[in-house]
């Protein structure tokens, strides 16, 4: 939490906390813990609600997500209306920063009437990962690519990229790559208690990460991890 986020949190009337069911209950728990630690305003109330479940066929991904976002916007509206009526200030605690692989702003844009939205920038998992390993993200004057585990698995190493950051990997997509010349910087539960880090040659560290990941997931019931892969430049 940045100082600006703590100030914003304490200036709201309600904080909406989504409950995502048993499996991910730790994430609601993290949000509750953040409020317990940083919420000192006596006039701010915490409102918990059940997040609608995404329903639909994987083949219809766009339509499924569109429908899901509509239903979430509907639940937000209901909660806001019930708790505040026509006017008030609402906080949503977004994981990391809403600019990166997050749909909170797309969902908020569906609310009617359209609210005024103030985004307090957060710290992304990628920033946490780079800081934890004390590495810069890009090479000098070079671009980097941020992609998902699914895309890496489906399409392999992306084109002529030298640096690839991978998020939203439900598994270990790095195992599908030829490890020759690849270095990985991996991190799980970044910025949280129990943060885990591994770095090194992909060939040598791959199985260690797979095993650590499996055990951590079994222990916590969920895992969030992010990694950066860099390809050695050949002369
Ligand atoms: C839905 S995206 C949200 C990203 C978030 N908006 C951000 O700024 O980092 C979730 C993905 O972010 C990454 N992530 C988020 N929090 C993380 C954490 N504490 N440690 C490791 N990876 C994390 C994981 O790759 C996860 O699959």
- Residue 218, phi then psi, degrees to nearest 5: -65, -40
User: Which of the pair, 22 or 47, is modelled with greater confidence?
Assistant: 47
∠ CA(209), CA(210), CA(211), 5° rounding?
A: 90
Residue reference for tokens 């997509």: 173
- Which residue spans within the chain are E strands per DSSP? 14-19, 45-50, 90-92, 145-148, 163-167, 182-188, 196-201, 225-231
Task: Look at residue 234 in the predicted model and tell me its pLDDT.
Answer: 66
Summarize the confidence of residues 195-216 as an average pLDDT: 98
Which two tokens mark 24?
Answer: 């991910």
- CA nearest 2: which of 178, 135, 120? 120
Q: Is 144 in the pocket of ligand 1 (CB under 6 A)?
A: no
**What's the chain's average pLDDT?**
93
The pLDDT of residue 149 is above 90: yes
Judged by DSSP in three states, 138 sits in: coil
Domains of the chain: 3-108 (3.40.1010.10), 125-231 (3.30.950.10)
Report yes or no: 189 and 164 within 8 Å, Cβ to Cβ: no
**135 vs 68, 164, 185, 199, CA distance in Å?**
37, 14, 9, 11
Find out whether the beta carbon of 130 lies less than 6 Å from any atom of ligand 1: no
Asked if residue 23 has pLDDT above 70, the reply is no
Alpha helices, DSSP H only, in 85-201?
Answer: 104-108, 125-133, 149-155
Query: What SS3 state is found at 3?
Result: helix
> How far is ligand 1, taken at its centre, from the CA of residue 225, in Å?
7
pLDDT reading at 25 higher than 60 = no
> What percent of the chain has a predicted confidence (pLDDT) above 70?
97
Q: pLDDT, tens digit, for every residue of 80-124?
A: 999 998 899 999 999 999 999 999 999 999 998 899 999 999 999
Query: Can the peptide bond before residue 181 be classed as cis, meaning omega within 30 degrees of 0?
Result: no
Say yes or no: CB of residue 189 within 6 Å of ligand 1.
Answer: yes
Q: How far is the CA of 167 from the centre of ligand 1 (A)?
A: 7
Task: Tell whether ligand 1 has an atom less than 6 A from the beta carbon of residue 67.
Answer: no
Which pair of tokens denotes residue 146? 């941020």
Place of tokens 């809403």: 98
96 touches ligand 1 (CB under 6 Å): yes
Please identify, by atom number, the ligand 1 atom nearest to the C-alpha of residue 168.
Answer: 27
Determine the pLDDT at residue 228: 98
Q: Which residues contact 4 (CB under 8 A, 6 or more apart)?
A: 120, 121
The pLDDT of residue 26: 63
List pLDDT tens digits, range 150-164.
999 999 999 889 999
Secondary structure class of 67 (helix, strand, coil)? helix
Q: Please, which pLDDT band fits residue 137 given cuts at 50, 70 and 90?
A: very high
Place of tokens 């919420």: 39
pLDDT band at 24 (very low <50, low <70, confident <90, very high): low
Check if the beta carbon of residue 91 is closer than 8 Å to that of residue 15.
Answer: yes
Note the pLDDT tens digit of each residue in 30-89. 899 999 999 999 999 999 999 998 887 777 888 899 999 999 999 999 999 999 988 999
């Amino acid at each position: 939490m940045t100082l600006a986020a703590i100030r914003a949190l304490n200036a709201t009337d309600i904080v909406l906390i989504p409950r995502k069911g048993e499996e991910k209950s730790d994430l609601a728990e993290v949000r509750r813990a953040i409020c317990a630690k940083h919420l000192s305003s006596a006039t701010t109330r915490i409102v918990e609600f059940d997040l609608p479940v995404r329903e639909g066929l994987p083949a219809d991904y766009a339509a499924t997500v569109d429908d899901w976002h509509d239903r979430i916007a509907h639940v937000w509206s209901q909660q806001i209306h019930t708790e505040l009526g026509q006017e008030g200030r609402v906080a949503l605690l977004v994981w990391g920063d809403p600019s990166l692989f997050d749909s909170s702003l797309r969902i908020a844009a569906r609310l009617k009437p359209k609210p005024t939205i103030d985004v307090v920038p957060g710290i992304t998992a990628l920033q946490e990962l780079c800081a934890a390993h004390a590495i810069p993200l890009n090479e000098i004057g070079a671009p980097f690519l941020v992609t998902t585990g699914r895309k890496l698995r489906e399409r392999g190493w992306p084109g002529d990229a030298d640096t690839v950051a991978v998020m939203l990997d439900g598994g270990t997509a790095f195992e599908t790559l030829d490890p020759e010349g690849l270095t990985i910087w991996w991190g799980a539960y970044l910025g949280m208690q129990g943060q885990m880090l591994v770095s090194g040659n992909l060939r040598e560290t791959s199985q260690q990460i797979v095993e650590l990941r499996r055990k951590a997931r079994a222990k916590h019931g969920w895992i969030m991890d992010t990694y950066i892969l860099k390809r050695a430049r050949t002369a």
